[in-house]
Structure 1
Amino acid sequence: MMLDVTVERLIPLPPATVAAYAMDWRHDSEWTRGIRSATLTREADTGGFGAGAEVTRTAHFLGRSFSYVLRVSRHDPPTVLDMVSVAGPMPMRVTYTFEPTRTGTFARIRVRGGLRLVGPLMSRPVRSALTADLRALESRLGR
């Protein structure tokens, strides 16, 4: 069984506000638990950040430090950012979605992949980290 974890949170701000901050790789280390740094290491074909761009993240998780590269496979602000790992310790896909509600934004992070044998063991710590990430995102946005 592979890792497949989704966490959700209602943030009382418009989707454009939430997504503009969360989809900007320059803010990754401010709200994403464990991310120490993020660098745009390849621009999109159209320049800047978008589909085809690559971001290298340096992270600390479960007592280990490592780097990995995420390639943007879909970038549709303010609703979807989908990224696939192209280098790092394990294959993964990270998807951020932002849906408007009457009272703000329904923010969701889904992480899939990992190694087949350790996927089930990673679910709980990944869920905990992602839940903290969404709390931190809301906090950084001033709520």
Structure 2
Amino acid sequence: MLAHSVVNGTRTWTTPNGELQLWTPAPHVIVTKFQGTMFDAHLAHLAMVTIEGLVASQPKMDIFHDWEGMELYATEARTLMTDRAVPLAPRINSLSVLFGSKVVRMGVSMASLKLGGIPLYNSREDFERAVRQAVESKPGTFKPTPRE
């Protein structure tokens, strides 16, 4: 069962496996937050449909995935997100991920090979600082500096 809501600009999808939130703190910045198990591709598909629409509206986007609460990044979800991100690459300035799980880190590292590098954060403070810097920057000028 899938529940969906939009409150103060934050889109939230909830399933028995987890919860995905997505918001745009600036027109050129997308933040996702996932908690739980990214077991199937359903939530990944919903995230990518939304991201694709947002990326089409801006010349260069900065995308931040707060996946510190993600327990599993299953192959089906990772493959879907990676394959759909490849054609978006020319419109993405940066794509950064905060992780807490070694399993999630490994999945993101595999996606990074196909996408040409994904900065990884293991510190919430550094990740949130990077989001603030991207929000305050002009589109296409933010450069991530993770301290993993």
Q: TM-score, normalised by structure 2?
A: 0.28
Whose helix fraction is larger, Structure 1's or Structure 2's? 2
Query: TM-score when scaled to structure 1?
Result: 0.28
Greater relative CO (CA pairs within 8 A, separation 6+): 1
User: Which has a greater percent of strand?
Assistant: 1
